[in-house]
Structure 1
Amino acid sequence: MDNLSKSLKQYFGYDNFRLGQREIIEAVLAGRDTIAIMPTGGGKSICFQLPALIQTGITIVVSPLIALMQDQVAALQENGIAATFLNSSIAQNEVATRSQSILEGRTKLVYVAPERLFSERFLQFLDVVRDRVGIAGFAIDEAHCVSEWGHDFRPEYRQLAQLRDRYPHVPAIALTATATDRVRQDISNQLQLRQPFVHLASFDRPNLYYEVLEKKSERDTYAKLLQQVRLQSGAGIVYCLSRKRVDEIAQRLQEDGIDAIPYHAGMNASDREANQIRWIRDDARIMVATIAFGMGINKPDVRFVIHYDLPRTIEGYYQESGRAGRDGEPSRCTLFFGYRDIETVKYLIAQKVDPQSGEPLEAEQRIAHQQLRQTLDYAEGLECRRTILLRYFGETHTGNCDRCDNCRSPRPLKDWTIEAQKFLSCVARTQEKFGMTHIIDVLRGSRKEKILQHDHEKLSTYGIGKDRSADDWKQLARSLIHQGLLDQTTDGFAILKLNPLSWEVMRKQRSVMLALEPKAESTTSSDPSSSERSDRSEREFTRDAELLYDRLLALRKRLAREQNVPPYIIFHDSTIRTMAKDRPTTLEAFSKLSGVGTRKLEQYGEIFVAAILEYEQASIPSPRNKFSTTQLETLALFDRGLDIEVIARDRNLKPSTIWAHLSEAVNLGHAIDPDRLISPPRQATIRDAIAKLGMTSLKPVFEHLEGAYSYDELRFMAAIARMKSGEQS
């Protein structure tokens, strides 16, 4: 093992570098300016953190958010790394203490916001740091903020150009998860980077499943949202366009028994911070938020992100949905799409006006309309969702990813060339002066006053489209626009205009394909990150390991509370899962786990090994006791009359774990009255489905029942069926 690999294991607990990390680190260590474009969860932070530990001097990390600084510093300190942050959240005497530690060379990484960095007092302090201990480099995190073409431009980031003027010989590394070619060039220019080493990783996130669900009515959409939240495990984010919607959805989820909390700019700062901390520390499962939430949030175990409303830009959607699955585990990204959302976004675009004159900012509005069209291309697209997303960032993808709804449930295409010719001909005959609704009215033979006023009832295209519904024509019109076969003005009037491709269609030189038949509604059961992964888990991750996993999660949460840090800073879920599967019972075996470095071995090794040993010993079968200690604890509480939710809360376990205990107890011959858990009518429905489809796999039963019954209920009733079958035989 070379020195870099040894340092990686020592400080961060990883045995191998991820793709691109070593090359970036070597460039930084060689003193080169660097641009690192890596997807969320791709391991950007290590690219500047590891060199900082090896180099002489201090690395200054420019970060836009207090929460991000605190999160990263807490994680570094947990790994025994001397890091700190300086921002407005700490008292002046603490600032003095931390500053002294920096000047004495006892700190390796210093996180600071651009506003503080460019205060005259801090720059003077930085000059002293340079002279006494040296500045190894500057790391510009979330570097897309420096570009006005980025999705989250921050004017204060423009000041970063001063760093090159003031410290010309100090190298810099710029890091971001999303940046188009234009943004990358702007980053380089704004930071005055000199022939930077550029690493551009793939933007593909293979562990994410993408889907778009139709918004029919508010009632229907919320029902779908509630179903997803109930069926998905782990933490989630629900994004909404407005503060009002955030409050409404959070309240409705709470009323339906979901631990959901709101976050938006209309709340006071202390409430926002409190809710953010609750969610990060697993004290609340669902965060309902505007896009004001999320940037810099380092929570790796977000299992799903739902956009309840249409996002404004593709880049923003990629960034927001990318907060799911940072740990590489299967996660789900759902976008609810309805055409009313388009009008909402257009209204927001129209609010882009000069604050002084009140005049529209036409350039900004034009860009925003272009971005909206790109978002619609994604929402309405028929090809692989991954292909559409990656194309935006200049990357090609072969499609057929099997990890999006379009690849899993493709809609059959129909040739609508003749209908397209009718529509485009009507646009031409009305002299390209009208919008979509008027053209459809002409085609369908409407007698509206506007049609009669312009004598459009006399056109040859009048009434030739009566055989199609208005919705069919709208879908065709939108498809023509998004395929580039028809233009629409963006000056607020949305007038339809023909282009050269329009004439190719009318001249029969180009065909038009349209998917009109609605595809089967995507549900959680169609996603490998849920049911199929659940089936795999039953094969690869035993029920016993699942119980140990839950126990270790509870131990991690207790330790995190004691230390006032998020649970994932102790260990990531993937490391806990490996512990439960491999069950290391010595410190040497524990040290070999991915995610266990020198400091964490010293700090937590004995605690977790002891917990594993205790579980192993308690689970040894004996003639006097067929049940493990944890199962007996559950059965004792259940026999006292407590329900599953109360037992789960009291034992700090998931309800699904309590269900598993009870199902396993039935499998082992313990009699449990099913009426206490499932109503008789629901029992009857499940029994009929099991009798019809068998118990070899529960997935067909789940799908047959259209996801209306949970896997917990199905497993329990299958255990009851097996017990009765054994009695009869």
Structure 2
Amino acid sequence: MSTIAAHRSDSAVTQPLHILDEVFGYNAFRGQQAAIVEHVTGGGDALVLMPTGGGKSLCYQVPAIARHRRGQGVAVVVSPLIALMHDQVGALEEVGVHAAFLNSTLSLEEAQHVEREMMSGRLTLLYAAPERVTTPRFLAQVDSLHQRGLLSLFAIDEAHCVSQWGHDFRAEYLALNVLHERYADVPRIALTATADEHTRADIIERLQLQDARVFISSFDRPNIRYLIVEKDNPRTQLLRFIRDEHEGEAGIVYCQSRKKVEETAAWLNDEGISALPYHAGLDAAVRQRHQDRFLREEGLVMVATIAFGMGIDKPDVRFVAHLDLPKNIESYYQETGRAGRDGLPAEAWMAYGLADVVNQRRMIDDGTAGEEFKRVQRGKLDALLALAETHECRRVRLLEYFGEHYGEPAPAAGPSQDGRSLLGGQGAHGVPTPGAGCGNCDNCLNPPATWDATEAARKLLSCIYRFQQHGGGFGPRAFGAGHLIDVLRGKRTDKVAQYHHESLSTFGIGADLSEQQWRSVLRQLVALGHVVAEGEFNTLGLTDSARTVLRGGVSLQLRVATETKRGRGAKAKATGKATGRAAPVDLDADALQRFQALKSWRFEVAREHNLPAYIVFNDATLAEMARVHPGSLAELSEISGVGAKKLEAYGAEILRVLER
């Protein structure tokens, strides 16, 4: 190390807490961030599991800045996401950190310029995709940096992509073990928001992180309210949800198919809600244009397949809605986690029905994977169904899946702090009593009624059994949900007459329940694993566990499925906040006027710099400025999120805006 570098390494400017304050404008780390940053800055390897919005990026950005200031060169950040690279680099340059990316959006001249900056050691962070990082050309450049002592660390983002058990496996991640093999003395930090036990073990093995320290933060996102409803005209349900709760706010609506994405986006626009479609079948230029609009404009709704979202750093997404059931809890958690990254109130809404369950099971069964993989995927789907059908606290169930008991410290090999977001904070959230409900999900706010459905379940299972025993002169046959319910309710349809099912002992024994009630019972029996729907026509069959129910060996308490209907007043009362369209926190009339003036100023700055507005300042920071009403640069510097570079660049303008 040079004399200058050695001198700088002793300086306060290389201390992580100083960097956090000077560069990012925050005066304290949250949760496990301090321990992670200290460990990686000191040269240690780490595996970090931290929820979306929990501040993962700072866990490698602060060490990268510290090590660069000590003369240790460039940090290479491996990311599969072009959108994230652009946003992260833009945000870093805004706070005075020299960063760049190498991806397909650059011209040859631009890429060569970035490579020169990298090879000189002037860059602090370089973002690149895994397939580029493992090319011979790139590795040769990294070899040169390493030999000259200018390779500070590797950060592997979205590390779950390396695992076949993860929800977003990418084969190109498997080649990243070369980083340990070639650069064993360079610290590596792998980060992900979701990974169950199988996936964690895979990450450690495939990235050779056996000696890494593992940090597992709480998976709880207390600012997100979880709402799950039974499908009953889902478009109408979605429209009511958006209009009653989130009109004029940014949100994401996930659909399973490309066709449904386009139809839903067009329908929302027809209903007066600004919406854009996004899926892998669209032209790349269209996808990029829609994504850029979503990031830069306020109040847009993105209707998308899962092709959209991973790495999207937009903090003010106020809701995520699912019109179709995700394939597992990891996907659900990852997708819902894109709401409320700023820590302010947000909602995760999902509508699902029996067809969703059947379709997901068929996708698993018809896949080309091995039986062991299918078995694991069926278990993951069952866990998601249990979350959807539970009449207990949804947050408790969700956290239990990740091995965490609500109200207790997260399981971790490292410190057990909660790792909440630095970006605006997550608001007041007291430590709950273990075993208690969260008070911020639909089941806690409006506890669902349950009923003893044992006898109804036995009637339904018995009817399926009768179908299998004889088909009314046509031999043993299996039938679907619609015909089953017709027979139970005693409806004399053409199909009933065709198969002489009016002669079955189960014909009409369920006339006391409505079609909707029987569909709810059937869906829950499928979720519980007593009934399976098979084949192209979703015909119903019994599992081994159904025998126990038929024999009266088990009592079934099922939920009475009712959709929660709340208006704006209900939401405001439940959260203690307004709906959020005017400001993310309660402000008096004068402060609200200042907040709107600041947002108008931010819009112009963002447009001039070609950046999403939240990269200039997020809403929470602007709201704090409006509330505090600082009168000097010194007072402005005390606002969370105002670092030295932004204070220098924008401080005087902000003070002028506040005084208008």
Question: Normalized against structure 1, the TM-score is what?
Answer: 0.76
User: What SS does the corresponding residue of 2:611 show, helix, strand or coil?
Assistant: coil
Instruction: Pick the aligned partner of 1:516 from 543, 555, 560.
Output: 560
Give the aligned partner of residue 57 of structure 1: 73
Give the aligned partner of residue 401 of structure 1: 438
Give the aligned partner of residue 212 of structure 1: 228
What CA distance in whole angstroms lies between the structure 2 residues aligned with 1:404 and 1:168?
46
Deviation at 1:9, TM superposition (A): 0.4
Aligned residues: 605
Deviation at 1:46, TM superposition (A): 0.6
Give the aligned partner of residue 568 of structure 1: 614
Q: Percent identity?
A: 43
The 8 Å contact of residues 37 and 175 in structure 1, kept in 2 or not, is answered as: yes
Give the aligned partner of residue 292 of structure 1: 307
Instruction: Map residues 326-341 of structure 1 onto 2, 5 A cutoff.
Output: 326-341=341-356
1:83 equivalenced with 2:83 (yes/no):
no
Deviation at 1:328, TM superposition (A): 0.3
1:605 equivalenced with 2:651 (yes/no):
yes
Give the aligned partner of residue 13 of structure 1: 25
1:122 partner letter: F
Instruction: Map residues 380-459 of structure 1 onto 2, 5 A cutoff.
Output: 380-397=389-406, 398-426=435-463, 434=478, 437=481, 440=485, 443-444=488-489
What are the Cα deviations for residues 298-350 of structure 1, in whole angstroms up to 9, with x where unaligned?
11111111223332322112111110110101111111224344455456557
Distance 1:160 1:549, change over 3 A: same
Structure 2 unmatched runs, 5+: 1-11, 407-434, 470-475
What CA distance in whole angstroms lies between the structure 2 residues aligned with 1:129 and 1:279?
38
Instruction: Map residues 551-590 of structure 1 onto 2, 5 A cutoff.
Output: 551-590=597-636
Deviation at 1:36, TM superposition (A): 0.4
What CA distance in whole angstroms lies between the structure 2 residues aligned with 1:30 and 1:323?
31
1:124 partner letter: A
Give the aligned partner of residue 519 of structure 2: 474
What CA distance in whole angstroms lies between the structure 1 residues aligned with 2:317 and 2:585?
24
Q: Larger Rg: 1 or 2?
A: 1
What are the Cα deviations for residues 507-556 of structure 1, in whole angstroms up to 9, with x where unaligned?
55532112336254244543359874119989942022111101101111
What are the Cα deviations for residues 631-666 of structure 1, in whole angstroms up to 9, with x where unaligned?
xxxxxxxxxxxxxxxxxxxxxxxxxxxxxxxxxxxx
User: What SS does the corresponding residue of 1:122 show, helix, strand or coil?
Assistant: helix
Give the aligned partner of residue 720 of structure 1: none
Give the aligned partner of residue 108 of structure 1: 124
User: What SS does the corresponding residue of 2:161 show, helix, strand or coil?
Assistant: helix
1:36 equivalenced with 2:53 (yes/no):
no
The 8 Å contact of residues 89 and 100 in structure 2, kept in 1 or not, is answered as: yes
1:150 equivalenced with 2:158 (yes/no):
no
User: What SS does the corresponding residue of 1:98 show, helix, strand or coil?
Assistant: helix
Instruction: Pick the aligned partner of 2:326 from 289, 293, 311.
Output: 311
Give the aligned partner of residue 542 of structure 1: 588
Give the aligned partner of residue 254 of structure 1: 269
Give the aligned partner of residue 697 of structure 1: none
Deviation at 1:234, TM superposition (A): 2.9
Deviation at 1:212, TM superposition (A): 2.0
Instruction: Pick the aligned partner of 2:339 from 324, 337, 340.
Output: 324
The 8 Å contact of residues 50 and 217 in structure 2, kept in 1 or not, is answered as: yes
User: What SS does the corresponding residue of 1:11 show, helix, strand or coil?
Assistant: helix
User: What SS does the corresponding residue of 2:659 show, helix, strand or coil?
Assistant: helix
User: What SS does the corresponding residue of 2:309 show, helix, strand or coil?
Assistant: coil
The 8 Å contact of residues 73 and 122 in structure 2, kept in 1 or not, is answered as: no
What CA distance in whole angstroms lies between the structure 2 residues aligned with 1:586 and 1:546?
20
Give the aligned partner of residue 682 of structure 1: none
Deviation at 1:134, TM superposition (A): 2.7
1:374 partner letter: A
What CA distance in whole angstroms lies between the structure 2 residues aligned with 1:524 and 1:467?
36
Distance 1:528 1:363, change over 3 A: farther
The 8 Å contact of residues 230 and 562 in structure 2, kept in 1 or not, is answered as: no
1:4 equivalenced with 2:16 (yes/no):
yes
The 8 Å contact of residues 242 and 290 in structure 1, kept in 2 or not, is answered as: yes
Bigger relative contact order (CA 8 A; separation at least 6): 2
When the two chains are superposed, the root-mean-square deviation of aligned CA atoms in Å is 3.1
The 8 Å contact of residues 103 and 133 in structure 1, kept in 2 or not, is answered as: no
The 8 Å contact of residues 209 and 527 in structure 1, kept in 2 or not, is answered as: no
Distance 1:528 1:401, change over 3 A: farther
The 8 Å contact of residues 139 and 172 in structure 1, kept in 2 or not, is answered as: yes
Give the aligned partner of residue 707 of structure 1: none
Deviation at 1:172, TM superposition (A): 1.1
User: What SS does the corresponding residue of 2:34 show, helix, strand or coil?
Assistant: helix
Give the aligned partner of residue 48 of structure 1: 60
Give the aligned partner of residue 496 of structure 1: 541
Distance 1:472 1:257, change over 3 A: closer
